[in-house]
Chains A and B, each alone.
Chain A
Amino acid sequence: MPQAAPALRDKLVIAAPHLEHLLQALQQRGFTLIGPMLEHGDLVYDGLAAAADLPRGWTDEQEAGSFRLKPQGNQAFFGCTVGQHSWKTFLLPPRTKLWQAERQGHGVEIVPHQEQTPKFAFIGVRPCDLHAIAVQDRVFLEGPYVDPVYQARRRLAFIVAVNCTRAGGTCFCASMGTGPQATTGFDLALTEILHGLEHYFLVEVGSDQGAEVLQEVPHKPATTAVQTLANKLIQETTAHMGRHLDSDGLKELLYRHYDHPRWDEVASRCLTCGNCTLVCPTCFCNAIEDVTDLTGEHAERWRRWDVCFNVDHSYIHGGSIRTSAKARYRQWLIHKLATWIDQFGCSGCVGCGRCITWCPVGIDITAEVRAIRESEKEE
C-alpha cells in the first residue's frame, strides 16, 4: 500500500515489531546504533545490534544512593528511565587523543590526531538528556571557541528520543522544564504505548532526515485518540515526579549563600568521589595529559574527563584553591545551578536525577537546595 511521505512535525504510529525496521534503516544509512542495554546486570548505553538488545521488559527503581533493575511484567522496550551512562560518553569521549608529536633534531613536529568520526544514532534519548545535549552544545559549539571533536561527532549524530511515560524515583525534569516530553532537538521522538493488548509507538518527526528514515518503516497516521492517550501518559508522568526542585530565583538564592552553614553540613557527608560529575550528562570538565614513550622521541596529548571534586582540579603552583570538601561541593552545586546560567545562559541541571541515584551516600541536590531555601524562610 503506497504511503504519503512523512514530513516534518508529522505524528505517526508504528507497531512495536517495526521498531526493528527503524533500527535497520538507520544501520543501512551507516549509523552505529547506541542505546540502553543490560550488561553485567547494569543498565548501560552501548552498541545495539538489534531491537532485541534493548532491555525489554525491565524497569528500574531509583532512590538516593540506590539503583535496582527488576522485571516489569510487560514487553516494553523502554521501560527503564536512565542509568549511570549518558550520551556525553559518545559526543565527548572520556579519553580523546588530540595530537602526537615527534622530536626531529632540535625541532618538534606536531600532528593533529586524525579520527574517523563515528556516526552515531542514539536510540532512546530521554527528554532530560536531549536538554543535556543542548546544554553541551552551548558549551562546546556556541561559545567563542568550538571543540572540534564534539562538533564532528555531534554534527553526524541522529537522535531518536523517547518520551517518558514513567518518572524515575530521582527524576525532577518537570521542575527544570526539561521533560517528560521532548519538544525539540530530535530527529524522531517516540512515545511507547502499551494499551490493553496493543503495543505501538507514536512517532513525532523532528527533522527532514527523520522523515526520510521513516519512509522505510511501515507506519500510519496517528489518530487523535492515540495522541490523547500519549499526552495523558506524559501528564501522569509529570504528576509522579520522584523529586521536586524549586528553581524560582535559584541563581540569586545561591549567590546569597556562599557562606551558608549547609555547605559544612553536606561536606560532612560528601566523600568527594566525583560520581555525581561523571554521571551528570552536562558536566564537561576535562584535563589535558601529555605523555611520551620510553625513548622520549614520541609525545602525545590526550584529553580525559576531569572532576571538580579532585583537589588537583584547582591546582596552581604552590597549592590548590579549593582544598576543603565544602568548597568543592559548593563549586559543583553552584556551578551547576547558578554560575552556569551566567556562563551559558541556561541551567547546568536538567533534572535527570543521576547525581542523586549514583551518590554513594545519597546526597540529594534537591534536598540541599531546599535546605538553603528554607533557611531563608526561618530568618
Chain B
Amino acid sequence: MVSNAPAHRPQAAGLPTPMLPQPFQIQRVSQETPDTFTLVLQPASGTAPFCFLPGQFNMLYAFGVGEVPISISGDPAHTQILVHTIRAVGTVTKAIQKLKPGRVLGVRGPFGSHWPVAEAAGHDIVIVVGGLGLAPLRPAIYQILAHRAEYGNFELIVGARTPADLLYHKELERWRGRFDFRVHVTVDSASPAWRNNVGVVTTLIPRARFDPWQTAALVCGPGVMMRFTVQELLQRGVKPENIYISMERNMQCGIGLCGHCQLGPYFICKDGPVFAFDQIEKWFALREI
C-alpha cells in the first residue's frame, strides 16, 4: 500500500549533523509511571524548528555518559519543542532521568523511517500499542486526529502491565471522551478497583471495529507482544502489507554506518525502525537473527 522510506536523508558534509549532537535544554519533566518520564526540550540556542515524521527517533546524549536512541513522542505540528518519553532502564537513561529543567542534552536526529500516516488516508486505522509502545505512536495519533476527516474508523488499543504502567493517563482519558475515535485500554493484571478491561492487549483486537480489507494497522510494543498482535490482525484479515511494526535493535550511529542494528538485510536505524510486516516477515520469524 504505502511507502515508508525516510522522507529526507540529509547528506553529511563534515562532522556537523548528523554525527554531532546539538544542545537542547530541558524545559519540563513529567513523571509518567514509576520508571518512565517525559522531557520537553528546546534548542539551547536559536529557534530553528525541529521537524520530524511520526515514528522517527533521535539519539539523546547525556554528557559524558553516552547516547541512546529514543523515539520522538510529541506532536509533529509543534516544531518549536521536542518531546521524548524515556524509560530509565540503562546507564544513559538513568543519567537523563536525573537531569532537572534547565540542563542540556545532546540531540542527533531525526533518524529512520516513519509510520505511513499520510499514506494511510482513506483507510480505517487501528493502532495497537503495548507498554512504552504508545510513545512512538503518539505523534501518529496527533497527526491522524489533526486530519481526522481523511480517515475511516479509528481504533486505538492500549495495553499495559498494570493501570499504574499506563503512559499519558490524562491524555488517554481526554481521548476517551472524544466521539471521533475509540480508545480501548487493557491491563494484564489489576485489582478490582480497576473498572476497565483486564487481559493481554491482543484480547481487544477481535472486538475492535474496522474493515480488515481497508485497514492500516500500526503496532508497537515489546517483541512478543508485536508477534502475537500481528497474528491476531492477520487472523482478522488485515493484509500483511498494511500492518506496520516498529523494530528495536542496538543503535549507535543512527545513520547505517556502525553495523549494530542489522536485521537480515536491513539496518533498523535507516531502513526502519518502522517496517511493513510483509517487508520483514521472513526476518521477523527467525531467532537470534
Q: Indicate if A touches B (C-beta under 8 A).
A: yes
Q: Does B65 have its Cβ within 8 Å of any Cβ on chain A? A: yes
Given contacts A106-B103, A106-B104, contact A145 B256 (CB under 8 A): yes
> In the complex the two chains form, is A313's CB within 8 Å of B265's CB?
no
Interface size, chain A (Cβ < 8 Å) = 50
* Chain B residue at smallest Cβ distance from A298: B64
Which listed residue (B12, B248, B259, B264) contacts A146, Cβ 8 A? B12
> In the complex the two chains form, is A292's CB within 8 Å of B64's CB?
yes
Beta-carbon contacts under 8 Å, A291-344 to B: 291-292, 296, 299, 303, 306, 308, 313-318, 321-324, 326-327, 331, 335, 339, 342-343
**Chain B interface size range:** 35 or more
> In the complex the two chains form, is B65's CB within 8 Å of A144's CB?
no
* Chain B residue at smallest Cβ distance from A145: B255
Q: How far is the CA of A364 from the CA of B103 in the complex (A)?
A: 53
Q: How far is the CA of A84 from the CA of B26 in the complex (A)?
A: 48
CB distance from A97 to the nearest CB of B (A): 11
CB distance from A173 to the nearest CB of B (A): 24
Q: Does B288 have its Cβ within 8 Å of any Cβ on chain A? A: yes
Give the chain A neighbours of B270 by CB distance below 8 A: 143-145
> In the complex the two chains form, is B250's CB within 8 Å of A108's CB?
no
CB distance from A285 to the nearest CB of B (A): 3
Give the chain B neighbours of A287 by CB distance below 8 A: 252, 258, 260
Which listed residue (A146, A290, A313) contacts B64, Cβ 8 A? A290
Give the chain A neighbours of B44 by CB distance below 8 A: 107-108
> In the complex the two chains form, is B64's CB within 8 Å of A299's CB?
yes
> In the complex the two chains form, is A285's CB within 8 Å of B265's CB?
no
Which listed residue (A113, A292, A343) contacts B265, Cβ 8 A? A343
> In the complex the two chains form, is A308's CB within 8 Å of B259's CB?
yes
Which listed residue (A286, A292, A316) contacts B248, Cβ 8 A? A316
Which listed residue (B20, B67, B104) contacts A290, Cβ 8 A? B67
Give the chain A neighbours of B90 by CB distance below 8 A: 317
A interface list, Cβ under 8 A from B? 98-99, 101, 103, 106-110, 112-113, 139-140, 143-148, 258, 284-288, 290-292, 296, 299, 303, 306, 308, 313-318, 321-324, 326-327, 331, 335, 339, 342-343
Name 15 extra pairs, CB < 8 A, besides A107-B44, A258-B289, A317-B89: A103-B63, A107-B23, A107-B104, A108-B106, A112-B15, A145-B12, A146-B12, A148-B14, A286-B252, A287-B252, A288-B258, A291-B64, A313-B250, A327-B288, A342-B265
B interface list, Cβ under 8 A from A? 6, 9, 11-16, 18-23, 25, 44, 61, 63-67, 89-90, 102-104, 106, 248-250, 252-253, 255-260, 262, 264-265, 267, 270, 286-289
